Structure 1
């Protein structure tokens, strides 16, 4: 005995799934643009950099026949690791990150928590004011702060001198922290927005229950709000670590107004100097690959530390 099924009685969603089941390639069409762009602009450049790092240029014909490219293996990596200024640059940015990242995160978190309390009037205006420096390009920000750092023209330096404080923001011992100040001024806003958006997703009933139990606002902020937005804190921390190791714009701009910043002051500047000034793209590629590996290792370490603190194991 057969049963006749009227087409109009079949739910539309079921018919849609039935028709799609006959075209299994449809999902891949939607994913293809991302995959193509990912390969072209991320995977391919990494592959080119690794390939270039294994090559070297050698003069041929007793120096009169031009230059030929030969396979050098890991010679460029060994040369980069023996470069004292390149290695010192890593130590410099790590010291910079150990100070700048916590300071920036504390300021961003404090502002996000303050705006989340609802006690600040004109929240939208002040959020925009804090976020505005992020919209200023890094080069422009470095130029603006460079004007404030130069003793001959800086109203800040001249004002401090009038009250007996002789500050030199471009001295060898302070220029690194002057760079950190520029980076902090530029990035606090975007991190504050990310943390504030995460706070808006936390159910308000949790705060009310804590207040009923007698918890104060400070305890709620430190014991409830920050743990609830731990993924957002991790995201901003990782992006800050990556940005620290890629530090380039601020010291490169300030280098033009002070001699305390060398052409290889940071690893990224060393890559640029080796590739353009020394015209050795193969050595520059090896330095870039090493920089990427250090960034990857530090990111994995931070992720593992965070997962262990949150009680998450790799098996979960």
Structure 2
């Protein structure tokens, strides 16, 4: 074999291998990320974008009933335009549900985020004991499903089976009705705060642990107390995490469903349309009007998007103003 033959690699049929050009290699490298995105894109389209698009499509249609609605062709689906949206915006039950959720959110969001921030600051101190156990104990309620948590607290709210009411009775103290009237908001808010504080605490605590230790050392050398360090250093530096947790809390508040639905068999104070999502469920599965339910669900999604986008934009504007010289 000659030296020239030894230098040339040959394929199966004796033809020399063709080395890819640098241009082809660069094109392959640029296309590779898109191939990795294909599975996620397909799943997003099938299980997220397509259902949303179909719900929006249903919201523009309605069922037209001819005569008594008997026989073939008596019930047919027609184009309704914005009629379902006008009916939803003019529905007093839908309005009342939105107001109830607004009052519920005014209790849940500040209390839950305040406790999450407080617990995160307490766990971030050097003198805290049993920190791993404390983190787990605070986070554990978040791992319990919402329906199970609502059932647990629901039975604790019932005077006949609750051990707390038994203790109050033995102490000859008044037993408040937590499932009736105004206290119902506190009862529902307690379930949400108990279950969501741990998750928000972990987000804020992780942000606190990422602050360099040199910042604290410099503050101590300047004579700052632990309280001043918490108020002037820790809280301002975890503001992005507070914004994120507030964003998630707003979305969860607007979508409240499992807590009032689970407590409804235990009290007459929770209506079937207590929250907007309960109204959607009632219209879709009890009244059989999926078109009105689709319009209401679309309005809830739009309201969530507008509130979330507006809050994020306001937070970003404030951050830019603080960073500007």
TM-score in terms of structure 2 length: 0.88
Partner of 1:223: 232
Structure 2 equivalent of residue 64 of structure 1: 70
Q: How does 1:15-94 map to 2 (within 5 A)?
A: 20-23=25-28, 24-60=30-66, 62-65=68-71, 66-94=74-102
Q: How does 1:78-227 map to 2 (within 5 A)?
A: 78-163=86-171, 164-227=173-236
- Secondary structure of the residue aligned to 2:124 is helix
Unaligned regions of 5+ residues in structure 2, if any? 1-19
The higher radius of gyration belongs to 2
Report if the CA contact (8 A) 1:97-1:241 is conserved: yes
Summarize the Cα distance change of 1:162–1:208 in structure 2 as closer, same or farther, 3 Å threshold: same
User: Deviations 1:106-163 (Å, cap 9, x if unpaired)?
Assistant: 1001111111112211110111011111110000000000110011111112322333
What is residue 245 of structure 2 aligned with on the other side? 236
| Runs of 5+ consecutive residues of structure 1 not aligned to the other structure | 1-14
Please tell me whether the aligned partners of residues 161 and 167 of structure 1 are also in contact (alpha carbons under 8 angstroms). Answer: no
The 3-state SS of whatever aligns with 2:191 is helix
CA offset digits 1:77-124 (Å, max 9, x no partner): 111111111111111111111121010001001111111112211110
Tell me how large the CA RMSD over aligned residues is.
1.8
Tell me the TM-score normalised to structure 1 length. Answer: 0.90
Count of residue pairs the alignment pairs up: 299
Structure-2 separation of matches of 1:57 and 1:190: 44
Q: Which runs of 4+ in 1 moved over 3 A?
A: 17-20
CA distance in 1, matches of 2:180, 2:67: 48
CA contact (8 A) 1:80 1:286 kept: yes
Residue 18 (structure 1) shift: 7.2
Partner of residue 10, structure 1:
none
CA displacement 1:200-226 (0-9 Å, x = unmatched): 111111111111111111111121111
